[in-house]
Amino acid sequence: MVGTRLSGWKGYRTMKILMKGNEAIAEAAIRAGCEAYFGYPITPQTEVLEYMARRMTELGRAFVQAESEVGAINMVYGAACTGARAMTTTSSPGYSLMQEGISYMAMSFVPCVIVNIMRGGPGLGNIQPSQGDYFQMTKGGGHGDYHLLSLAPSTVQETVDLIIEAFDLADKYRQPVTVIADGLIGQIMEPVEFPDLKEPQRPERPWALTGAKGRKKNVITSLFLDAHELERENLKLQAIIAQIKANEVRYAEYWLDGAEIVVIAYGTAGRIAQTAVKRAREQGIAVGLFRPISVFPFPYDRLREIAETAQQLLVVEMSAGQMLEDVRLATCNRVPISFYGRMGGVVPLPEEILDKIKGLAGTGS
Amino acid sequence: MHEEVIISGFGGQGALFAGQLLAYTGMDEGWHVTWIPSYGPEMRGGTAHCVVIISDDDIGSPVIRNPTICIVMNPPSMEKYEPLVKPGGLLVVNSTLVRTRSERGDIEVVYVPANDLAAELGNVRMANVVLLGAMLGRREILPIEGIKRTLERHLPAERRRFIEPNKRALDRGVEYVRKQIGVGEPARLEEQVG
């Protein structure tokens, strides 16, 4: 059974359906007008591929199961060059394999959407939820000077909304846009609403390779052998990144009024922390939660403001402490920062975070 | 309303399906719900379980340590989850396969020979729904009729022939525990030790 067995394709706005995160990602992409999907199976994101295999072909759109993630990202590159809305999804080791292609796309200003459903690492690791790819997602990942807009949802509904937005943002900035989630969001079922199915639409893309009939030819490349020319292209890219930083900061705040302790966590860790913070509030502890939604651009400015009134910060991640470095950058260590992290696919329980909060509040053991 | 339910058994016993029945029904009744499965190598031969949360409020954490209600369908699940049920919570035990008894005095425990009851109904694979019925027979966190509506609404076409047998299995579970204990009585089964 079956959130997957959707019958009929209209009017879902008025009706919630129960759906697995991975399937919701696929459906959201379809609703956003994704015309071409390329992927390679890897747990815990394989349901995206399965869903796409069925629905994309039903709709007469392009679906290819590539021979590897290297193949998949380069197929995305090729399809996107023609102006198609293209997408791939993968999980951590697969995302590593894609880095070369992603770097090429960033430098050649080609939009696409890439989803990384993170799993335990490093290495082959395991298939359990993790946030160990934060550095890779936010600091570049591939070679060269680039950063991709990276959005980190914490529920299935938010995932759907951000996937749909990601396609528009990719077009807006002519850059790959990433959605960063983890195995838990991929596997969870939650009620979700979708916008109506739209026919794929292509915004004006004068740069696309559509056959040069009646116009000057377009060239899409990331190879610029002349150093000054490559620097000019780099400056163009940096200008785009500066715009992304200025326009696309997103975050959510919970109970920050009068909060002496502020917990900072994103994605799955963010929603687990939400329960811990709520319980701590019920026990009279002045604690709030700050949840970055864009992890690149990171909400440095807002966090700096928060650090002016908070007395302590607690960063919670399913990693050894990667976003922690951005929190330090944002606050310049003006307030004490504690960290609680689990690794290897271990998902922290609300009780563990609550204990940590109580410890900081001086009310715990 | 805030219930945190764990359903656990061998892979293939239908723990995940029973959890989905709860989640769909919870959603259709207007509650916030989450359903997460265990996934990974443990599904091959070990236990498979799911966590279902049904709440009147936004659900933050979908992971929990202490369920308010737990259905254990096999011995490893009993061993793992019996100690974790929240005080005052409900533990539903498939006593066809689980031969041990809980010694906890702070939770309600019901023993249901679910495989036997399902076999009597003609299909041992419906033990999961018998246990779900037993659970709702003791704590009707969602309407039993709602579960039946879920079967009708959400089972895919090729499995619609299982709707009526599942409804009977659900009713059998409800009837079994109500006959055993009586609705609303404090929870003590004769066969419970301690």
Question: What does A143-180 look like in DSSP terms, one character per residue?
Answer: SSS---EEE--SSHHHHHHHHHHHHHHHHHHTSEEEEE
Cα angle: A155, vertex A159, A162; to 5 degrees? 135
Choose among A126, A188, A271: nearest Cβ to B60: A271
Q: How far is CA A217 from CA A173, A210, A212, A224, A280, in A?
A: 22, 9, 5, 17, 62
Q: Are A128 and A345 a contacting pair, CB within 8 Å?
A: yes
Q: Is residue A53 part of a domain?
A: yes
Q: How high is the pLDDT of residue B53?
A: 98
Residues A58 and A125 in one domain: yes
What is the spatial distance between Cα A109 and Cα A82, in angstroms, rounded to a whole number?
12
| pLDDT value for A204 | 85
With contact defined as beta carbons under 8 Å apart, do A310 and A259 qualify? yes
For chain A, strand residue ranges (E) read: 17-20, 36-39, 62-65, 86-90, 112-118, 149-151, 176-182, 189-192, 251-254, 261-264, 287-292, 294-296, 312-317, 337-341
CATH number at residue A116: 3.40.50.970
Looking at the partner chain, which of A5, A18, A188 has a beta carbon nearest the beta carbon of B62? A188
Q: Per-residue confidence of chain A (365 residues) as pLDDT tens digits?
A: 333 333 333 333 447 899 999 999 999 999 999 999 999 999 999 999 999 999 999 999 999 999 999 999 999 999 999 999 999 999 999 999 999 999 999 999 999 999 999 999 999 999 999 999 999 999 989 999 999 999 999 999 999 999 999 999 999 999 999 999 999 999 999 999 998 876 666 778 999 999 999 999 999 999 999 999 999 999 999 999 999 999 999 999 999 999 999 999 999 999 999 999 999 999 999 999 999 999 999 999 999 999 999 999 999 999 999 999 999 999 998 999 999 999 999 999 999 999 999 999 997 54
Burial bucket for residue B30 (CB in 10 Å: 0-12, 13-18, 19+): exposed
Inter-residue contact A140 to A288 (CB < 8 Å): no
Question: B62 touching A, CB under 8 A?
Answer: yes
Q: Which of A187, A191, A349 sits opposite B33 (nearest CB)?
A: A191
Closest chain B residue to A277 measured between Cα atoms?
B60
What tens digit of pLDDT does each residue of B118-137 get? 999 999 999 999 999 999 99
Taking the mean position of all CA atoms in its chain, how far away is CA A80?
A: 19
A99 Cα distance to chain centroid: 15
Contact (CB, 8 A) for B20 and B137:
no
- A170 and A285 both lie in a single domain: no
What range does the domain containing A267 cover? 251-361
Give the model's pLDDT for residue A11: 36
Prediction ipTM score = 0.91
> Coil, strand, or helix at residue B189?
coil
| Domains in chain A, number | 2
Tokens at residue A184, please?
């838990």
Gap from B14 CA to chain A (nearest CA, Å) = 11
The arrangement of strands across the sheet holding B90-94 comes to A17-20, A189-192, B32-37, B47-55, B2-10, B69-72, B90-94, B108-112
Other CB atoms closer than 10 Å to residue A257's CB: what's the count?
8
pLDDT value for B41: 60
For residue A108 the two structure tokens come to: 């050649």
User: Is there a contact between A91 and A155 (Cβ–Cβ < 8 Å)?
Assistant: no
Amino acid at A163: I
User: Does residue A25 belong to any structural domain of this protein?
Assistant: yes
> Which residues are B6's β-sheet partners?
B51, B70
* Residue A136 sits in the same domain as residue A52: yes
Interface check for B154 against chain A (CB to CB < 8 A): the answer is yes
Token couple for A171? 């077009």
Subunit contact A43:B39, Cβ cutoff 8 A: yes
What does the buried/exposed string (b/e) look like for A230-249 if buried means 16 or more CB atoms within 10 Å of the residue's CB?
eeebeeebeebbeebbeebb
Distances (CA, A) of A98 to A31, A92, A102: 25, 10, 6
In the three-class reduction of DSSP (H, G, I as helix; E, B as strand; rest coil), residue A112 is classed as: strand
Tell me the Ramachandran region of residue A270: left when phi exceeds 0, alpha when psi lies from -120 to 50, beta otherwise. alpha
**H helix count then E strand count, chain A:** 13, 14
Asked if residue A265 is part of any domain, the answer here is yes
- Residues A184 and A305 reside in one and the same domain: no
- From the list A188, A191, A272, the residue facing B60 with the nearest CB is A272
Lowest-confidence pick of A185-199, B62-76, B103-117, B160-174: A185-199
Chain-centre distance of CA A31, in angstroms? 18
Q: What fold is seen in the domain B2-181?
A: Pyruvate-ferredoxin Oxidoreductase; domain 3 (3.40.920)
Residues A20 and A134 in one domain: yes
Residue A7 domain-assigned (yes or no): no
Asked whether residue A211 is assigned to any structural domain, the reply reads no
Is the domain of A166 the same as that of A61?
yes
Q: Would the pLDDT of B23 be above 80?
A: yes
Residue A325 lies inside a defined structural domain of this protein = yes
User: Hey, are the CB atoms on B62 and A184 less than 8 Å from each other?
Assistant: yes
- On whether both A19 and A137 belong to a single domain, the answer is yes
If asked whether residues A243 and A287 sit together in one domain, one would say no
**Cα(B88)–Cα(B173) distance, integer angstroms:** 21
Domain assignment present for A1: no
Contact between A11 and A194 (Cβ < 8 Å): no
* Integer Cα distance of A192 and A271 in angstroms: 17
pLDDT at A195: 85
B61/A271 CB distance under 8 A: yes
Report helix angle A227-247 to A156-173, nearest 10: 140
Task: Tell me if A268 is assigned to some domain.
Answer: yes
Out of A159-168, B40-49, B113-122, least confident range: B40-49
pLDDT at B12: 87
Token pair in block for residue A297: 């651009």
| pLDDT for residue B42 | 55
> Quick one: A194 and A296 in the same domain?
no
Contact A18 B23 (CB under 8 A): yes
Closest CA to A235 of A115, A107, A125: A107
